Structure 1
Amino acid sequence: MDAGVIGMGYAGMPAAALFCGCAVHYPIPLPRQPLYAGVATCPVAEALAASVLSIPVHPNVTDEERAYVARTINGVI
């Protein structure tokens, strides 16, 4: 989710997007995890943690569920 392009980041995302099975899987990148703190800087990991939204993609997702996710995301952005 590029806040500059769609006008919002995760904080501005309506709850509807989260209820359709979408999630932020890695909100805290490894360099900011306690075990790895101070080891290295990873600007790409930081950028991805702030912008990647995961959608349901497992093999059991039905056509109806895919359509619902697509409608919900399109309604948000």
Structure 2
Amino acid sequence: MDVGDSLNPAIDIGQIEGAFIQAIGEPPLFLGSCAFFAIREAIRSYRQERGLNGYFRFDAPATPEQIRLACEDDILRKVWR
């Protein structure tokens, strides 16, 4: 195989390691869904601490408004009446 002479072997090793890390990276689609499910679990924990154990609907995208509405509290109960 004709690959030529390396000018700097340290750069070659860095290129190989960088390519390896890129090859085992997590796809962006699944990374985004992990954040969504973490937010949903945080809301579920908050609701359980407040005694709200029933089902709640939480659809994507997780906007600040949806997060606020899912975390029912005294202020939201007054508004919804």
- Report the TM-score, using the length of structure 2 for normalisation: 0.21
Question: Rg larger in 1 or in 2?
Answer: 2
- Report the TM-score, using the length of structure 1 for normalisation: 0.22
Structure with greater contact order relative to length (CA < 8 Å, sep ≥ 6)? 1
